[in-house]
Amino acid sequence: MMETTSISSALTLLSSILGMATKVNEREFNQAIIELQKALLNIQKEAAQLQQENINLTNQLSDLKQNLIDRSALEYDGYAYWVKIERGFDGPFCSVCVDNEHKRIRLTRIPGTFSGSTYRYDCHVHKKSFLIPIDVITKHTPVR
């Protein structure tokens, strides 16, 4: 990262050099120093912008890390995600939310069967329904 304090000291030095140069009254020399001063001021401005950008990116990264779920603990069965627990699986969890948002959102079972062989599960976050074969659900249901 650019050191804005060192740029500030360079600018201070430049100001005193400019003061001396005024006494010498070398027009071209003065002009060059003025240009150099402008360039340094621009660098200082850019460094401040980069620092701000760095802060923003660091904050974004920290937010993302906080929302990140442990995907290695999840198993996908072609319909939904499950988490292996001691006596079976916890779930199902919405595959769209896991894949898109990196969030583990539990699906809500809608009573009854659909087409005779599937259960309907809804994601309350993105308002989607999933039809999951009953045998897939049974396979994941914790042993009682």
| Residue type present at position 36 | L
Nearer Cβ to Zn ion, position 33 or 123?
123
Residue 74 binds Zn ion (CB under 5 A): no
Angle at 144 between CA 97 and CA 113, to 5 degrees: 55
- Token pair in block for residue 15: 């100001």
Site for Zn ion (CB under 5 A): which residue of 14, 80, 97, 137? 97
Please state the closest distance from residue 100 (CB atom) to Zn ion, in A.
Answer: 8
CA 114 to CA 127: how far, in whole Å? 18
Task: Verify binding: residue 126, Zn ion, rule CB under 5 A.
Answer: yes
From the CB of 121, what's the least distance to Zn ion, in Å? Answer: 10
Q: Tell me whether the omega of the peptide bond preceding residue 92 falls within 30 degrees of 0, making it cis.
A: yes
Q: Quick check: 123 binds Zn ion (CB under 5 A)?
A: yes
Instruction: Give the Cβ contact number of residue 33 at 10 Å.
Output: 19
Smallest distance, Zn ion to C-beta of residue 103, A: 8
Smaller CB distance to Zn ion: residue 18 or 136? 136
